Amino acid sequence: MPRYRLTVEYDGGPYKGFQLQDDAPTVQGALERAIHGFSSEEARVFVAGRTDAGVHALAQVIHFDLMREWATDVVRDALNAHLRDERISILAAEQAADDFHARFQATGRRYLYRILDRRSPPAVERGRVWWVKTALDADAMNAAAQSLVGRHDFTTFRDAHCQAKSPVKTLDEARVWREGGEVHLAFASRSFLHRQVRSMAGSLAEVGSGRRPTEWLGEILAAADRKLCGPVAPPDGLYLAEVIYEGAASISPR
C-alpha cells in the first residue's frame, strides 16, 4: 500500500481549523474529499501540525495511504483539480517510506507571524495579517524575544484549554524584524503549546508599542502565570511556514 507525502499551502480563513469536524468546513475535510474524488478511495489524512481556525500554512506536511500506486505528479495535479474551489493548494508530492509519519517524525516546526502596523487597514491582505494602528519597534521586540529562547516553562503563553502533558518546551528560535511595511516574527521549536505562538506575538506587540519595557517579557515568562500574558494575537497573521524532518530535505514545489 503506497504512502504519499504532500506539501500543502492553504488560506485558513474559510476553515474552522485543520482537523476534521462533522458540521464545519476544515482543511482535512476538503483534502479527504479531494483524495476520494480522484482515487475513489476513503483515505485518512495525517498532518504534521493541526492549525486552528483562521491560521494559514505555507508548507504544511501531510501523508496518507492508497491501495493503488499513482505517479506523484498525477497525485499533485489531480488533487489540485479537485481543490479548485477551495483555498488549498498541493505544492509537491512524493511517495514516502511505509513507516513515514508526518506528525511523529517531524523534528521541528517553524511559524511566521505577520503584523501590519499602519494607520490604514489592509485591503488586499485583509485576513492574512494582524493589523495594528500603532507603529511597532521591531528592534525592541527582537531584544525581548531572546528571553524566550531555550527550555522554559511556558505556562504564561499556554492556552487554558491546552492538552499538552507539560508546559515545558524548548524554543529554538525567536526573531523579530521589519519586512517592508510589516513586522515579522519567527518561532521554531520541536512542538508548541496550544496558542503559544499567538500568545507570544501578542505580548511582544505590547513591547513594540512601548506599553511594556523590553525586560517585561522575561519577567512574565519566569512567573509562569497565564494571567500575566498580553492580549492573544488573532489567527489572521499566523502561518505554519516549515516542518522539519531529520535527514530529509523538504520537498520543493515544481
pLDDT interval class at 130 (50, 70, 90):
very high
Average pLDDT over residues 177-202: 97
Segment 100-110, tens digit of pLDDT:
999 999 999 99
- φ/ψ region of 140 (left if φ > 0, alpha if ψ in -120 to 50, else beta) reads alpha
Nearest-5° angle of CA 17, CA 101, CA 151? 75
Domain spanning 107-242, CATH class: alpha beta
Asked if the domains 3-104 and 107-242 are classified in one and the same CATH topology, the answer is yes
Confidence of residue 248 (pLDDT cuts 50, 70, 90): low
The yes/no answer on whether domain 3-104 falls in CATH 3.30.70.580 is yes
pLDDT at 231 over 60: yes
CB 66 within 8 A of CB 1: yes
State percent of the chain over pLDDT 70: 97
pLDDT at 252: 46
Judged against a pLDDT cut of 80, whether residue 253 lies above it is answered with no
Give the residues across from 61 on adjacent strands.
7
**What cell numbers appear for 119 in the block?**
494607520
Average pLDDT estimate for 119-132: 97
Eight-class DSSP state of 226: G
pLDDT digits (tens, 9 = 90+) for 33-49: 999 999 999 999 999 99
Is 52 marked active-site?
Answer: yes
Cβ neighbours for 57, distance < 8 A, ≥ 6 positions apart:
8, 9, 10, 12, 27, 51, 239, 240
Q: Are 194 and 181 in contact (CB under 8 A)?
A: no
What is the arithmetic mean of pLDDT over 75-80? 98
All structural domains of the chain with their residue ranges: 3-104, 107-242
pLDDT in tens, 157-186: 999 989 899 999 999 999 999 999 999 999
- What pLDDT was estimated at residue 9? 98
Residue 83 pLDDT: 98
Q: Judge whether residue 201 has pLDDT over 50.
A: yes
Q: Does the pTM of the predicted model rise above 0.85?
A: yes
Mean pLDDT of 221-232: 97
Question: Residue 254 above 50 pLDDT?
Answer: no
SS3 per residue for 145-191? HHHHCEEEECHHHCCCCCCCCCCEEEEEEEEEEEECCEEEEEEEECC
pLDDT for 246: 86
| Residue tagged active-site, from 23, 52, 65, 225 | 52
